[in-house]
Amino acid sequence: MNEDVLIKVQSNPKFKELVRKKTSLGWQLSLVMLAIYYGFILVLAFNPHSLGTPIAQGSVITIGIPIGIFIIVSAFLLTGIYVRKANSEFDALNQQIVEEARK
Amino acid sequence: MKSRIASLYAGLLTALPTLALAGEAMTGEVEKQPLNISAIVMFFIFVAATLFITYWAARKTKSASDFYTAGGGITGFQNGLAIAGDYMSAASFLGISAMVYEKGYDGLIYSMGFLVGWPIILFLVAERLRNLGKFTFADVASYRLSQTPVRMFAATGTLVVVAIYLIAQMVGAGKLIQLLFGMSYGSAVVLVGILMVMYVLFGGMLATTWVQIIKAIMLLSGASFIAFMVLGKAGFSLNHMFEMAVDTHNKGMAIMEPGGLVANPIDAVSLGLALMFGTAGLPHILMRFFTVSDAREARKSVFYATGFIGYFYILTFIIGFGAIFLLTNQPGMMETVMKNGKEVTQLVGGNNMAAIHLSEVVGGNLFLGFISAVAFATILAVVAGLTLSGASAVSHDIYASVIKKGKANEADEMRVSKITTLALGVIAMLLGIVFEKQNIAFMVGLAFSIAASANFPVLFLSMFWRGLTTRGAVLGGAIGLVTAVVLIILGPAVWVDVLKNETALFPYKNPAIFSMTLAFFFTWLFSVTDSSRQAQEEKAKFDAQFVRAMTGIGAAGASKH
């Protein structure tokens, strides 16, 4: 990449917008995932038996089971949110930045 | 080249019936599991199909880019399936369903950890990785740093992870074929080694990817069917399924909550770190991001991969519980063996065979054949990906970039990668034989710890932290790598289980919490204290790297054909 293109991109307000939006969404969703997972790990570490509470009186299913399934499903949903946002909004913005840098 | 492939292809075709005969002749040793014709037929169909793909791919694989990344022409969806294929290893399929069978809920903990790394990879790593790299993750780590030391470090990290992961896969393969064919463990491992070398040597990434995709589809359909049948046997009531499992299992209600897998808080957090961030440091997974055309496809591939992998882990959970109530104490399913001087009752062939036995119970002999072929295909596909990744570390990072200073001609680079492929094949076979008795799911955990402690910190900081310098990356990464390896050796898995000492010198099974922290800390420390002129230049190059990482301007594109 030559200096010229670099400076053009860096001074483009759309680039700053892209960086801000993309980075903040990336970190926010990462934090959500980390919070969900390490929340679970901490329960596992300090109070594992609480996960053995039955979901209903007389049921053998413990709350640990739906929580586990929820964590798996949440991972998929979070990636879906990111891809949706990135495909629609970020890519369009990026396209403009790349085209403007070529001028 | 073409004639060499043709003759090897012909040679292998003639060798196949011989192997089958050899299997037949050796059934005396494993009479419990007589020769299963349908399994063998399906297995050979799979092998023939994959060799045909290899032949097809070999004709299209001409340049180094074809060999390492299939020319960058894989779509996001295909790559998602292939990533899922790489990730749903035999250790996942057999190991996790076995862990659920043995311990119940604990198996789910492993699954979750394996999965939650994926969103993080998507949000923080995938697109930047695709925009900055070409063939290996070392391309990214060394983007603005000094080539020689950083590539040497990255190649070492790659080879160590690949070696350990390969051991896990080889052990799984040996046990599986032993059970299926009545072949000896050793010859099974050799067979796997030969096939994986064939795929990689001739078909490169294109063949490896398609083997991976086919296997992923087979595995997902097979596992779906088993899970469906298990639920059917429980009258499609989860409650009933868990009830029957609790009634059958000797641990009773304890299988419905976390148990002894994670013995203490340190181990729990450490395991979590290793699984989550290890994924983002596995070289054969990272390499997959270079097979797609651009960052957009890279992003899509993670989305699809996460969906497939998540679905797969839910299936293994059901399969594990199904194995508890459908296999335990059933006639012909259990055997008693001596382990460390104690009598242990386990499934025939070991508890790692839970999913295999279950397939016979729910789907009969034909389906057993199918699942056996799938499990075997799984191992083949994963070892091929690992081998390719190890070979590119040697040829692209060490040979072309370090020894030849980036001036290697392509033919020589390809030749080195092919020689390495052969060498890795031999090493994998030897290690597979040496490590026969290890629990395969745990071996994968070790690979993750090292990936999280050596590769991930350097890769991550190179993309996110302007202040990273060569000195910091190499020293910090090396400290992470050495710490992880040493702590594993001194820990219970090797010091007690392998070296037969009384107590472990390091009390935790999972070193990641220490080794990863040390790696980050020392990378930071050796970077900020680096006031050399070179360090200044490296920091100055961050801006250009950042623009390329974000926008893809200047990124390696897909090759034309």
Q: Is B302 on the interface with A (CB under 8 A)?
A: yes
Mean pLDDT of chain B: 86
Whether residue B283 contacts residue B162, with contact meaning beta carbons closer than 8 Å, is answered with yes
Q: Identify the three-state secondary structure at position B50.
A: helix
**β-strand partners of B337:** B344
Whether the Cβ atoms of residue B415 and residue B65 lie closer than 8 Å to each other: no
Give the residues of chain A that fall short of pLDDT 70: 1
User: Which of B115, B116, B293, B294 to probe by mutation at the A interface, max A CB count within 10 Å?
Assistant: B116
The string of pLDDT tens digits covering residues B59-102 is 988 888 999 999 888 999 999 999 999 888 776 788 889 889 99
Q: Is A85 part of any domain?
A: yes
The answer to whether residue B207 scores a pLDDT higher than 90 is: yes
Residues 83-102 of A with CB under 8 A from B: 83, 86-87, 91, 94, 97-98, 101
Residue B29 confidence (pLDDT) above 50:
no
Minimal C-alpha gap between A66 and chain B (Å): 11
**Residue A41: its pLDDT value, please?**
85
Say how many Å lie between the first and final Cα of chain B, rounded.
20
Question: Between residues 44 and 83 of chain A, which touch chain B (CB distance below 8 Å)?
Answer: 44-46, 48-49, 51-52, 59-62, 64-65, 68-69, 71-73, 75-76, 78-80, 82-83
Tell me whether residue A11 is in a domain: no
Is A19 within 8 Å of B550 when comparing Cβ atoms?
A: yes
Residue identified by tokens 């080249």 is B1
pLDDT for res B91: 67
In this predicted complex, what is the ipTM? 0.94
Provide the domain limits for residue A28. Answer: 22-102
**Which B residues in the span 231-260 are in contact with A, Cβ-Cβ below 8 Å?**
238-239, 242-243, 246, 253, 256-259
Q: Which two tokens stand for residue B138?
A: 């070392």
Q: Tell whether the model's pLDDT for residue B161 goes beyond 70.
A: yes
Exposure on the CB side of residue B80, measured as CA atoms within 13 A: 22
pLDDT at residue number B469 = 96
Which chain A residue shows the shortest CA-CA distance from B125? A26
Domains contained in chain B, CATH given: 62-551 (1.20.1730.10)
| B10, pLDDT greater than 60 | no
Q: Do A44 and B116 touch (CB under 8 A)?
A: no
Residue B179 has pLDDT above 90, yes or no: no
Is residue A93 in a domain? yes
For the residues B264-290, what does the mean pLDDT come to? 88
Confidence of residue B24 (pLDDT cuts 50, 70, 90): very low
How many domains would you assign to chain A? 1
pLDDT at B559: 53
Q: How far is A7 from chain B (nearest CA, A)?
A: 9
pLDDT the model gives residue B261 = 61
Confidence of residue B260 (pLDDT cuts 50, 70, 90): low
The answer to whether residue A10 is domain-embedded is no
Residue B554 is nearest to which of A1, A48, A86, comparing CB atoms? A1
B26 close to A (CB below 8 A): no
Residue B154: is its pLDDT beyond 50?
yes
Q: How far from B110 is each of B113, B262, B351, B456, CA to CA, in Å?
A: 5, 10, 17, 20
Closest-CA residue of chain B to A51: B257
| Nearest-angstrom CA–CA distance, B542 and B373 | 48
Dump pLDDT digits (tens) for B388-415. 999 999 999 999 999 999 888 889 999 9
Q: Is the pLDDT of residue B199 over 80?
A: yes
Chain B residues with beta carbon closer than 8 angstroms to that of A37: 112-113, 116, 272, 276
Contact A61 B239 (CB under 8 A): yes
Query: Does residue B26 register a pLDDT over 60?
Result: no
Give domain status of residue A12, yes or no. no
Confidence of residue B19 (pLDDT cuts 50, 70, 90): very low
Kindly determine whether residue B116 and residue A75, on different chains, have CB atoms separated by under 8 Å.
yes
H or E stretch at B338: strand B334-339
* pLDDT reported for residue B440: 56
The tens digit of pLDDT for each residue in B460-516 reads 999 999 999 999 999 999 999 999 989 988 988 778 877 778 888 999 888 999 999
**Calpha distance B54→B205 (Å, rounded):** 10
CA separation for the pair B173, B483 (Å, rounded): 30
* pLDDT number for residue B2: 43
Cβ within 8 Å of A, B 115-134: 115-116, 118-120, 122-124, 127
> Does the residue A7 lie in any domain?
no
| Percentage, residues of chain B above pLDDT 70 | 90
Q: Residue B437: pLDDT above 80?
A: no
**Token duo for residue B560:** 């034309």
Kindly report, residue by residue over B210-251, the tens digit of the pLDDT.
999 999 999 999 999 999 999 999 999 999 999 999 999 988
Contacts of B317 in chain A (CB under 8 A): 68
